[in-house]
Structure formats: C-alpha cells, structure tokens
C-alpha cells in the first residue's frame, strides 16, 4: 500500500515541465501580443480618433466605397452629400478622410 503513494522525489521533476512546456508557450504568447494584438489596438485607436474629429464639410470615404461631403454630424451618425443625394451613415462606417489634392491616407503607394 505504501508503494502507491507518490513521494517528494517524484515531484522534483516538475521543473522540467516548466522549462520544457510552459516557457515556450509563454514566449509564443508574448510574441503574438507584440506582432498581432498591439498593432491592431493602435490602429483601432487611430481610427476612433479620426472618427471623433470629423466635422462638417470634410470629404470622407465609407466602408462601402462611397466618397461624400459631410453635411451634418451627430453623436452616432452623420449625413453625407453624394452629389444629388444625401445619405445617413453610421459614424463607424467611415474608413478614411479624402482630399482631392492627395490620395487617401490609408492607401499604399505603389510605384511602377
């Protein structure tokens, strides 16, 4: 009966578990945080700041690809003029500000 009781010497091999399994998974989690999660949080913060600073007469691009001029800004939605039509959109659907002089800020310039 005493043979089935684990001894303290068997538990001493537990440090191998720490360095062999847990440490690599912890390192992978840290790398994933700095390569994926943190940049996405920063990008979301910039987008929210851009949306908060939209004002009347700004030219915007929506997630649907519409380019229009802001006519009215409310807390959760805005009205944009698309030429002959005015459309109500949710503020979070704005992708970027658009200036006729320059290309949108979020596009990649490709030279070729």
Q: What is the pLDDT of residues 25-77, one digit of tens each?
A: 999 999 999 999 999 999 999 999 999 999 999 999 999 999 999 999 999 99
Helix or strand holding residue 81 (H, E):
strand 77-81
Residue numbers of the domain that contains 28: 13-51
User: Do both 63 and 93 map to the same domain?
Assistant: yes
The whole-model pTM stands at: 0.64
User: Do both 70 and 40 map to the same domain?
Assistant: no
User: Do both 34 and 68 map to the same domain?
Assistant: no
User: Do both 42 and 70 map to the same domain?
Assistant: no
CA dist 26 → 15, 20, 34 (Å): 15, 11, 13
Considering only CA atoms, which of 71, 73, 76, 72 is closest in space to residue 92? 76
pLDDT at res. 28: 92
pLDDT at res. 99: 76
Rounded Cα gap, residues 34 and 50, in angstroms: 24
pLDDT at res. 4: 62
- Do 97 and 54 meet the contact criterion of CB atoms below 8 Å apart? yes
- Number of domains within the chain: 2
């Amino acid at each position: 009966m005493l043979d089935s009781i684990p001894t303290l010497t068997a538990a001493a091999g537990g440090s191998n578990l720490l360095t062999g399994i847990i440490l690599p998974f912890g390192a992978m989690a840290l790398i994933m945080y700095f390569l994926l999660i943190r940049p996405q949080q920063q990008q979301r913060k910039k987008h929210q700041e851009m949306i908060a600073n939209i004002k009347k007469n700004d030219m915007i691009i929506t997630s649907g690809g519409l380019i229009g001029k802001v006519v009215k800004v409310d807390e959760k939605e805005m009205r944009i003029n698309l030429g002959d039509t005015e459309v109500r959109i949710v503020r979070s659907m704005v992708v970027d500000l658009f200036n006729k002089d320059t290309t949108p800020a979020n596009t990649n310039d490709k030279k070729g």
